[in-house]
Amino acid sequence: MGGLFGVVAEENCVQTLFYGTDYHSHLGTENGGMAVLGNKGFYNAIHNISQAQFKSRFVDGYKKMEGFAGIGAIDDESPQPLIIRSKFGVYAVAATGLISNKESLTAELLNGGASFGEMAGGGVNNIEIVTRLINRADNIVEGIASMRGVIEGSICALVLTAEGLYAARDKLGRFPLALGRKKDHSIKAYVVATEASSFENLGYELVRFLGPGEIVLITPDGVKQLKPEGSAKKICSFLWIYTGYPSSSYDGIGVEIARERCGRFLARRDNIAADFVAGIPDSGVGHAIGYAMESGIPFRRPLVKYTPGYGRSYTPPSQDIRDLVATMKLSAVRDVISGNRMIICDDSIVRGTQLKNYTVKKLWDNGAREIHVRPACPPLMFPCIYASSTRTNAELACRKAIRAIAGGSVDNVEEYLETDSPAYGKMIEWIRKDLNVTSLKYLAIDDMIAAIGLPAEQLCLHCWRGRQ
Ligand code: SF4
């Protein structure tokens, strides 16, 4: 989905920008970048991070940068931040999310006389579209507001100007933006970020979360609201289930605590006799700890991740790389597995291939007696349409099951969404057999909503319902 980090200070802030942006590395694997504004004007650096982590690509370069304000981004789709010369002066811009009407907007802008640089590999950089739309208005704030108005999908943006840093959360607050302030109040400095967890180690404290649609101007002297928050909110539920970092929080609700609550709900609906509970490292661990706390069944680690060498395997866009990483990064602990009945909590099942071919196979190969899989969200039925996603409808495990059960593709999947329907039961049984596990039981949607702790109408549930 991508992540943003921005900082404004009365002193050189490049180190804060470097580490703050790096703390968003779990949100993308393709592009990383930073732009700073200092006494010599704007300067940016952008690297492809698909083969080397953000830190190693920028660690030498950032020490040569200097500036009192900066923005950084991790994004799978568009290299950024870009520096733009416009009628408003020079500014730097970074934005994450998804422009689902990109083709029609590009055509409209081209017909209006705009031109775009060509990205490596073809296509138009989303940030160029964002800036062309901002520049159509009379000022930057109205430009951001009107840009968000015509974009279908969802965009959060940071715009760094000589006046300060404009931060804008997407219209429905689908993705978060948190404001932080230097803990030492004698130093004038503010930060804004997708992940509030990036603040603590940098010496900043959380002030608040921007509301849906809110736009603020951040300077070393403070934060000024320029557009108030809207009344409607649809924050991404998947942040708490998988995407977000365990130490982070969104709109005041902590990720790890929500995951523990998911696990507790899974345990309350279960009656399995097992020797231990485990989480798929790392994103299933919080859910598994909650399950263990609720059930009293001990938490153990049958699989450990070789953390020095491997990152996540969900975000790489190529299936080949995902599969290779999945194979290599998990080591089985035979002494824990052999002869035991285990409950395995996973955040979710997307395609099911990694779970089946690597996790479950490793557990059986090492002598597991029973394997009970408990995903911490309902079956994923739809790809995300608000952020770049590696999921497609056809490859989702549920869709494969439905196609197999129905003997062909099925457009209307309503009957498969209800947990007490026969169709749902058949779908789960097909997936269980395909995964080759002893039992399979997903978290129910009402339990997931309760575990997150926000009213259902404030949550995006599109992944599971196909509607908001
Ligand atoms: Fe989040 Fe899914 Fe909604 Fe996308 S569709 S914003 S991943 S809940």
Q: Exposed, middle or buried, 120 (CB in 10 Å: 0-12/13-18/19+)?
A: exposed
Where are the domains positioned within the chain?
A: 2-233, 255-465
Q: Among the atoms of ligand 1, which is closest to the Cα of residue 462?
A: 5
User: Ligand 1 in contact with 237 (CB < 6 A)?
Assistant: yes
What is the CATH superfamily name and number for domain 2-233? Aminohydrolase, N-terminal nucleophile (Ntn) domain (3.60.20.10)
Residue 223 in contact with residue 167, Cβ under 8 Å? Answer: no
pTM of the predicted model, to two decimals? 0.94
Q: How is residue 209 written in tokens?
A: 């979360």
User: Ligand 1 in contact with 236 (CB < 6 A)?
Assistant: yes
Residue 334 amino acid letter: R
User: Ligand 1 in contact with 350 (CB < 6 A)?
Assistant: no
List of E strands, 220-362: 222-227, 235-236, 249-250, 253-254, 276-279, 303-305, 330-332, 341-346
From the candidate CATH numbers 3.40.50.2020, 3.40.50.1010, 3.40.50.300, 3.40.50.1220, the one assigned to the domain spanning 255-465: 3.40.50.2020
Report the C-alpha gap between 72 and 96 in whole angstroms: 11
Could you tell me whether strands 204-209 and 178-182 are parallel, antiparallel, or unpaired per DSSP bridges?
A: antiparallel
User: Ligand 1 in contact with 209 (CB < 6 A)?
Assistant: no
Same fold, 2-233 and 255-465: no
Nearest CA to ligand 1 atom 1: 236
Tell me how far the alpha carbon of residue 346 lies from the centroid of ligand 1, in angstroms: 18
pLDDT by position in tens, the chain (length 468): 899 999 999 999 999 999 999 999 999 989 999 999 999 999 999 999 988 889 999 998 888 899 999 999 999 999 999 999 999 999 999 999 999 999 999 999 999 999 998 776 778 999 999 999 999 999 999 999 999 999 999 999 999 999 999 999 999 999 999 999 999 999 999 999 999 999 999 999 999 999 999 999 999 999 999 999 999 999 999 999 999 999 999 999 999 999 999 999 999 999 999 999 999 988 899 999 999 999 999 999 999 988 765 555 445 556 677 677 767 888 999 999 999 999 999 999 999 988 998 899 999 999 999 999 999 999 999 999 898 766 788 899 999 999 999 999 888 999 999 999 999 999 999 999 999 999 999 999 999 999 999 999 999 999 999 976
User: Ligand 1 in contact with 160 (CB < 6 A)?
Assistant: no
